[in-house]
Homo-oligomer: A and B are copies of this chain.
Amino acid sequence: MSSGTRKSRATDRLDDGSPFALSLLLRRAHSRAASAMAAAVRPLGLGLRHFAVLIVLVDRGPTTQRDLVQATGVDKAGIMRVVDDLEENGLAVRRAVPGDRRARAVEITVRGTEVFDAAHVDAPGLADDLVSHLRPGEAERLMDLLTRFTYPPADEG
């Protein structure tokens, strides 16, 4: 906390010692990754939020909107709008759930899987570029740490 003027730093990194450092750093890290990966889906007229839903649909099959909220961490209003978009573009459909008249299961369409596959043409290359400046194994280490940071064992949230 030097008073008065202070020479500007060489880098633009925020102070690592602050208790807010991790939060601010994650913001920039996400921004960097998101803007890079968005390039893979933008030509398809989709945003990453649409793709996050498609991934779940491919991975799990028909999924209620409630479960999509849980799986993606996106607010239910956001899921609503994303599913609206997917439905308008014919990439997914809302179907009634047999046992529960409240619930609507979202299911990916054939056209949806085609778009899903199309996005995976460029995506792996872009993803590799993101971490190409790290040393071997560090990308996996980062994923592992991030996963365990984001999903604590059960108690503390």
A contact set with B: CB distance below 8 Å: 1-6, 8-9, 11-16, 18-34, 36-37, 40, 48, 51-52, 55-56, 58-62, 67, 70-73, 116-117, 120, 123-124, 126-127, 129-134, 138-139, 141-143, 145-153, 156
Contact = CB atoms under 8 A, between A and B. Distances in A.
A21 B143 contact: yes
Contact of A143 (B5, B9, B22, B37): B22
A19 B145 contact: no
A26 B15 contact: no
A6 B57 CA distance: 10
16 contacts: A3-B61, A12-B71, A19-B37, A21-B143, A24-B52, A25-B147, A25-B150, A26-B34, A29-B30, A29-B150, A131-B149, A134-B145, A138-B145, A138-B148, A142-B145, A142-B146
